[in-house]
A and B are shown apart, each in its own frame.
Chain A
Amino acid sequence: MTLTEKPGTAGTADAVVPDSAAAALGRERSSAGFVVRRFLRHRMAVAGLVIVALMVLTAALAPLLAPHDPNQIFGSFEAAPSADHLLGTDAVGRDVLSRLIYGARVSMSVGVGAVAVYVLIGVLFGLLAGYYGRWVDSVIMRITDVFMSFPYFMVILILVSILGPSLLTIIVVIGFLAWPMIARLVRGSVLSIKQTDYVQAGVALGYSTPRILFRHILPNALSPIIVNATFGVAQAIILESGLSFLGMGVRPPAASWGNMLSEAQSITVLSSQPWIWIPPGLMILLAVLSINFVGDGLRDSLESRSYT
């Protein structure tokens, strides 16, 4: 990877200089057990993983865990926490805890969904650019330049407002905008991996290009993709909650941590009903922080160089 390539725009959480290509080269590769052992040494990463796992579980089992229907309206609105409503009720009279639990579904599905879309696109373009080089590479790289020139939050905001705010729109829009950084990452890895003797051996053995790309190059370029995708999940969760906060994301009555927070734009809610906005805010922070720690642990255990 040359120095002129910058780490991805959308991956602001991912700050450390990525030097993944070198790690992916034919050097003695750490076996799965070794990676797990190194990961387990990171207490914060392990704690993060546990929290993320609990959140995924909460999202999956929301109907069983939630004390109430998240959309059921109770007589007492803006009620302070009580035995019946552990986190009180919101401005419309819905149970905040139940909405919080259902909100995990939105965050987890945006995180995983959007990242899955852009990793797929990014890997494909990155493989093509890196392997074929020449004009294919130039064209794809210029396209990534164009995409990376747009301030992503603003473009997402505008596109979502044109297409109509919804969970699916957010996933698709983030998915189609955030792929360039993955493409650049993969391209960089491919450029160095395709020079290795084992890829040359594949050519000499008469393997087809798809076989070489997907069986011999991609598996060796996976580490940086995994790390980047992990940070991307955190990033997508922040984006969704931000959009929902601004009313351009998941729309009420559906519950999302972001749209729960937007109620705090009223001074009354902000000053005297903290049970309405502090829990969803903390959940977003906890989710993003945990995933970032997991990503950091993964970077350290999957790649040779690490600092944090």
Chain B
Amino acid sequence: MSTLHTINKSPFDRNSLGSCLRVISDSDAILLIEDGIYAATSGTIFSDVVKAAVQSHSVYVLGPDLSARGMKEDGIVEGVNVVDYEGFVDLVTEYDKTNSWL
């Protein structure tokens, strides 16, 4: 069964993203929300991790959470897709279950 993994913590603060990537399955996707969006920004020490992740999984970031934090959509890692709240809902319905990492 496919899983949508939501990550809501900055990778600089917590290892949620790293742990998620350790146990993710091929058919799963990642959605970065809240402080998790910082992982999607380019030029960070985590950019290579995210670049590798988009090679094997669909990776999304929530646009409103980018905007709220002053992060630009054109400043995110290539291959990461920006979604709005409707896109968030679509993703939740598209995958069999959601794993909300804390």
A joins B in a complex = no
Q: Which residues of A contact B (CB under 8 A)?
A: none
Please report B residues at the A interface, Cβ cutoff 8 Å: none
